[in-house]
Structure 1
């Protein structure tokens, strides 16, 4: 295959609305980025990240050095958790405002980068809270520049305009999303070397997140041929290289192509949007904030495939062929496709069901309610290839128990 001809140690630039540096050693591009932003007058930045992985993966060594060499002041907020909270964004925003930050750097996976995108907006709107932003109590029109240092291969947030933050204040259990054209990162770094320390579980969960992005994006009511093309390549690369990364986490070739696949999956759903799996997962991790997003998606995916297959059999047969071979693209194959997806998930070590995670029959009513009341999820439901009724949502949850 052509992948063997690609020099993964040469950093190449992927141009789109975000300029992405991809390759082993891409983290060193932070020196060029720091120099450039200083020349543009950005001399103060807020850094948003998790508790320790930004140091353990090696990214911080380069970032701190680049900022100090270019005399860029910074504050560090390192309290972001998986499924980040609006209150964490508020805390980081307070630090950014006190410094007078002119840009925001996010270091990590989807949670820190989404938090960075949110801080970049909220710094410019001191009269509002992050909960106001995610509950659509105001519509922003501007943002500080964002630089994304990506350390996982799953979310695609380094390449798109989306951000997700949980609002758990005042008894709420919301996990909404926002998407604005000014929220694309200015620069992103995708360096597979930063991902070799990802544990097996996170390697699988983040990759499954990317699989879900494209299975949804290529089957929405607004999908495009471009989204279908990106979906096919994402699934092919994930199917080929995820087993290698699970076997040997330091396999840089595997990490490289999983990172690339995740990035184009982000571009895929930036174009084709998402629908049921993400709309139904957000309430799961709102109720259980410690639930890994990719695991939540994995538990729902077979049931979603089963229920939407008859509406998009030709597309799904083609896109899923690397993990579910011999699908012919006929409506009658829904059960075969769903079972094939479940079997593939089990092969990569993900066997859990909603019941295993503590969800029970009595939780379904609350979950269904959250699907239809969480701000922004109506936009995902509106992209569903089949009518997104409460009966359908309940059915998917029940089949996933």
Structure 2
């Protein structure tokens, strides 16, 4: 396999809309990034993180040292939770504005990075709130510069234009997509991810798998998104078992991180549909549900619905985990069962019922899928008509 010839200690510079530094030790590039920010006239920044991972991984020490060396003053907001809320974003934005921050540095997984992107918008639109953003009361065209230091291998948010933040009182979990929130720089260092617990390792990786299954099968898919999808699933099939067995396996972490990165680029190009549109109501109602776990629970039921329409593509991209598919419509039940078995072997065997959902919740979930701002847009990209009946069938199959 060609992966064995890759020097994972070589810091690669990958140029998408974002300049990404990938490799073991890439966190050292924060020194150069801080110097570049300083040259642009930035002398104050807000750092947006979760409660502790930025410290436990050692990333925070590196960032502090780099900012001090570049004479960039900083203030820290470290209250972002999984499934971040508009109130957290507003609190961080208030802190950043009062400090006079000119840039936003995110340290964490998808939640801190998405919150940071939202803060970056509010630094430019000082009369707006996070609810204004996520209820689509205006269209941002500018944001403060963003630097994303990634601590998980799943979301791809460090290289894309998306962010997701919840509105708790409405149980909404909308997604935004604006060119102004592509990070300027991102750091993908697998050495920062060896402390990820096994369950989080599984959930974030399955998030990446869902990104590419959806991106490859939307009504606006393209060959680039499909090619990245096949490669992502191949890498996950090979390296997720290794990372589960040995969390310190840097080669496994490197290729899961690379898979996540290209999955982010895949759905930045091909977009998303059912699985994300239907998971957001789940973790909107139950914020304690890990996003990737919810996606994993839904994935077989989604593929069962779309396989007749996109069998040829799915047979190709799923070949590393379900070999021998031809793409024929009658394979749909087989793929449904095989995906459930593969997910179980990876560590996701739960059903929605195990997460506290009942048949009585389905009508509410269907309503949220169609009424939450932005989710209808995703449903409209599905390869089969996203009727309430189809959405209800997916939830029922996953129950």
* Equivalence map 1:349-368=2 (5 Å): 349-368=347-366
> Residue 141 of structure 1: CA displacement?
1.6
> Residue 123 of structure 1: CA displacement?
1.5
The equivalent residue for 2:393 is 395
The equivalent residue for 2:322 is 324
Distance in 1 (CA, whole Å) between partners of 2:27 and 2:158 is: 14
The equivalent residue for 2:251 is 253
SS of residue matched to 2:351: coil
SS of residue matched to 2:213: helix
**CA contact under 8 A between 2:174 and 2:373: conserved in structure 1?**
yes
SS of residue matched to 2:300: helix
Structure 1 vs Structure 2 CA RMSD: 0.6
Distance in 2 (CA, whole Å) between partners of 1:30 and 1:62 is: 7
Find out whether 1:385 has 2:383 as its counterpart: yes
Q: 1:209 aligns with which of 207, 210, 214?
A: 207
Normalised by the length of structure 2, the TM-score is: 0.99
Distance in 2 (CA, whole Å) between partners of 1:70 and 1:141 is: 28
* Equivalence map 1:25-36=2 (5 Å): 25-36=25-36
SS of residue matched to 2:247: coil
**CA contact under 8 A between 2:161 and 2:182: conserved in structure 1?**
yes
Work out the number of aligned pairs and report it: 399
> Residue 251 of structure 1: CA displacement?
0.1
The equivalent residue for 2:51 is 51
Distance in 1 (CA, whole Å) between partners of 2:100 and 2:257 is: 33
* Equivalence map 1:267-306=2 (5 Å): 267-306=265-304
* Equivalence map 1:1-400=2 (5 Å): 1-168=1-168, 171-400=169-398
Distance in 2 (CA, whole Å) between partners of 1:123 and 1:226 is: 34
**CA contact under 8 A between 2:34 and 2:66: conserved in structure 1?**
yes
**CA contact under 8 A between 2:54 and 2:60: conserved in structure 1?**
yes
**CA contact under 8 A between 2:140 and 2:180: conserved in structure 1?**
no
Please, which runs of 5 or more residues in structure 1 have no aligned partner? none
> Residue 125 of structure 1: CA displacement?
1.5
Q: Deviation above 3 Å: which 4+ runs of structure 1?
A: none
> Residue 126 of structure 1: CA displacement?
2.1
